[in-house]
Amino acid sequence: MKRYRGNGWARKTALGALSLAKQRGITRVGWQCWSNNIGSQRTAMSAGFKLLADFPVLFGWNLPLNNFLVNGNHYMRGDTKYGVNKDYSRAAWSYAQALDRGWDWNRDAALYWNAACLFYLTGEKERAIYYYQKAIEYGWIDIHQPHYHEHVYREEDSEQIATILAEASISNPVNTLELSHKVVSPTDG
């Protein structure tokens, strides 16, 4: 594929597509590419396109509750490649929307661990303890255990958070019936 780059083929193809669109009466043609795809941007500009907008992209799935988990992962880690900044409050809210409805990818303990850390980091200690207890219930051991996906909160403060939540859950168990129906949006604070 690399041997074809830099020969103008992409520009020629784009210009050909624009010509065909014009012949068929199509008057509005757009170009979308990832913000880090500089080659695609240059090709578009050389074919006469102008930058109209630069916007963040979130992934969507056919199952709405999967959207919450996937977007929770993106907000937790941030992903500059896709224009998503770290937002622990929004990540915690996203996880809670799915987990509180029992949508947890077959009791994936790491999702509960993530929610526990994120709620702890946003100052919601009671909810953090609740999700920590669920993570333990579903087999969570620690961040050093291998996991089948990469979306696990493993930051410098992970060990400290685990210690705090473990001690807090022993001395102050959370009433899971009361907490499991609490739903707030990220803007509710």
CA angle 122, 128, 130 (to 5 degrees): 155
| Beta bridge mates, 79 | 84
How many other C-beta atoms can be found within 10 angstroms of the C-beta atom of residue 171? 8
Distance of CA 82 to the CA centre of its chain: 10
- Is the pTM higher than 0.85? no
How many other C-beta atoms can be found within 10 angstroms of the C-beta atom of residue 88? 19
* Per-residue model confidence as pLDDT tens for the chain (189 residues): 678 878 899 999 999 999 999 999 999 999 998 877 888 999 999 999 998 888 777 666 678 888 899 889 889 999 777 778 899 999 999 999 999 999 999 999 999 999 999 999 999 999 999 999 999 999 999 988 888 888 899 999 999 999 999 999 888 766 554 444 344 445 544
Separation between Cα atoms, residue 36 and residue 145, nearest integer Å: 33
Please compute Rg for the chain using Cα positions: 23
